[in-house]
Amino acid sequence: MSKYHQFNFFKHTFCEFKSFPEEFFKEKSIHFKSKSGSKYFYTEQGVYRYSNHWGRVANCRWKIKGIQNYKNQNYYYGYANWKDFYSLNSSKKEFYLDVDYSQERVTICKSELNTTKFLMTLNFSLKRIKEIKNIFKENKWASYINEDVDEVKTVLIKKMVSSDRPLQELKQSLRDIF
């Protein structure tokens, strides 16, 4: 496992920052300001970031948690511990997806030692999240199945988080169930 710090955390990493109140930066002098205007303050434990762009950040995938009505181009304050950064290029299967069906939300989780969850690489997890979000949004793909759309979606998503089979193959397998 790589150890991340202020000199390498911005190189092909994934991280979920926690939102925090804006007063923090008013009391501190920043350590780094990017060309795009993002501000950073480093500690031994982690990094504070003030920015108007989250998600795909250069060669990284950085998300911010705790913002109810996130809008791109609005400035938000986030904090992450160094231990919360993960390599995008890792081939280790150490992540799983957690789905909240009532909120139609899916999140990446780092595996614990004795998990029974289906583990995936980070890149595959990110791909699956994108596919699951599309499944939540669209209903047209399920029109050929004469069952409750929400039930069909739930069955498909459960298959998606427990398999590395291609999405099209998983959709076709629904014919055997319904």
**How many structural domains compose the chain?**
2
Asked if residue 115 belongs to a domain, the reply is yes
Question: How many Å apart are CA 102 and CA 173, to the nearest integer?
Answer: 24
> Is pLDDT above 80 for 23?
no
Can you list the alpha helix ranges (DSSP code H) found in 56-146? 122-137
Q: Which two tokens stand for residue 31?
A: 């350590």
Residue where one domain finishes, among candidates 87, 119, 141 = 87
pTM listed for this prediction:
0.78
Averaged pLDDT, 34-55? 94
Same domain assignment for residues 126 and 76: no
- Residues 133-155 as b/e (b if ≥16 CB within 10 A, e otherwise) read eebbeeeebbeebeeeeeebbeb
- Please check whether residues 111 and 161 belong to one and the same domain: yes
Q: Look up residue 119 and give its DSSP letter.
A: P
pLDDT tens, residue by residue, 123-178: 999 999 999 999 999 998 888 888 999 999 999 999 999 999 999 999 999 988 88
Verify that 108 and 83 share a domain, yes or no.
Answer: no
Structural domain that includes position 147: 95-177
Residue 1 located in a structural domain: no
Residue 125 in domain? yes
